[in-house]
Structure 1
């Protein structure tokens, strides 16, 4: 059975634009997914990236155009300047880790709900109530927002270290069990092709 490690940030607009397409690809190929939320700003600092606020204006302008184009292409609502970005991504990440450990819900749906809250609904995912709502929407116990915080913090930090060691430098980032790496929501079709043995 094929497996995918999915590294992502709950603050990432590109993780939002991925929707549930990676999950659909995984289901198509009977592959499993392990989700690995991480601190994207720390990842940038460790892997030669630059925080959005520090990028050259040409990159900022291109990113603004491309995000809007991709959202339109995918039929997703999108706010280029959300009210609560950047915010603290740790609480939502800890809750996601607790949900993955607990089971019983849809993790793909949870990832989409959290990122949609930022990029389409102008909600602050650092707030407990927002995280609880996302957990509930995805079929998880909303109380997971308040559980396993120490384990969540440890896993969150470990995910960053693993990401650096395995060549991850952005979000979302997919790695197959054969170490085929795919950066970005616009590479999900390539992930599909590799799992199908076409590439």
Structure 2
């Protein structure tokens, strides 16, 4: 059975636009997934990336055109300039880490609900109430938002190191145990084909 390490930031619009694609692909091929939220700004610093605020105006202008196009293509609502972005990604990331450790809910739903809260619902994913709502909606104990903060911080830092070692440099980034990696929501089709043995 194939395994996928999924590196992502809870602030990433492209991770949001991936929707439930990863979960659908994993289910189709019987693959397991480990969710690895990380500090995307630290990843950029380690791997030669540039934060959006520091990018050339032409790159940001293209991003402003492309994100709405991709959202429309997928039939997904998107606020190009969310009210609470950027915000602190740690609380939502720690909750995802705690939920994965605890089990009992739907991880894909949890991750997508956090991303949707930021990019479609104008909610601040740094706020405890928002994180608790996302946990509850995905079938997890909302109190996970308050537990395991130290281990969550340790795993969050470890995920960054794992990402660098795995060759990840953006979000979403998918690494299969076959050694193949796929960057971006627009490479989910390639991931699907790879798991089917066609790529």
TM-score tier after normalising by the smaller chain length: over 0.9
Shift of 1:184: 0.4
State yes or no: 1:40 paired with 2:40: yes
C-alpha offsets along residues 17-36 of structure 1, whole Å, 9 cap, x if unaligned?
A: 00111100000000000000
Matched, 1:168 2:148: no
Q: Which residue of 1 aligns with 2:119?
A: 119
| Mapped pair 1:92 → 2:92 | yes
Q: Tell me the equivalent position of 2:68.
A: 68
TM-score, reference length from structure 2: 0.99
Distance in 2, Cα, partners of 1:21 & 1:57: 31
Matches within 5 A, 1:124-135: 124-135=124-135
Q: State the partner residue of 2:159.
A: 159
Mapping for residues 43-58 of structure 1, pairs under 5 Å = 43-58=43-58
Structure 1: gaps spanning 5 or more residues:
none
Shift of 1:179: 1.1
CA distance in 2, matches of 1:165, 1:6: 14
Q: Distance in 1 between matches of 2:70 and 2:131?
A: 26
Q: Distance in 2 between matches of 1:64 and 1:175?
A: 28
Matched residue count: 199
The residue aligned with 1:177 is 177
Say which SS state the counterpart of residue 7 (structure 2) adopts: strand
Structure 1 CA distance, aligned partners of 2:21 and 2:165? Answer: 26
Establish whether residue 195 from structure 1 lines up as the match of residue 177 from structure 2: no
Quote the residue 2:14 is aligned against: 14
What is the CA-CA distance between 1:87 and the residue it aligns to? 0.4
- Structure 1 position 165, deviation (Å): 1.0
What CA distance in whole angstroms lies between the structure 2 residues aligned with 1:135 and 1:14?
21
Secondary structure of 1:162 counterpart:
helix
Q: Does 1:108 align with 2:108?
A: yes
Q: Distance in 1 between matches of 2:24 and 2:114?
A: 18
Separation in structure 1 between the aligned mates of residue 160 and residue 21 of structure 2, nearest angstrom: 24
Structure 1 residue 83 corresponds to structure 2 residue 79: no
Paired with 1:64 and 1:20, the residues of 2 have a C-alpha distance of 23
Residue 138 of structure 1 corresponds to 138
CA distance in 2, matches of 1:122, 1:55: 24
- Structure 2: runs of 5+ lacking an equivalent: none
Report the RMSD for the aligned CA atoms in angstroms: 0.4
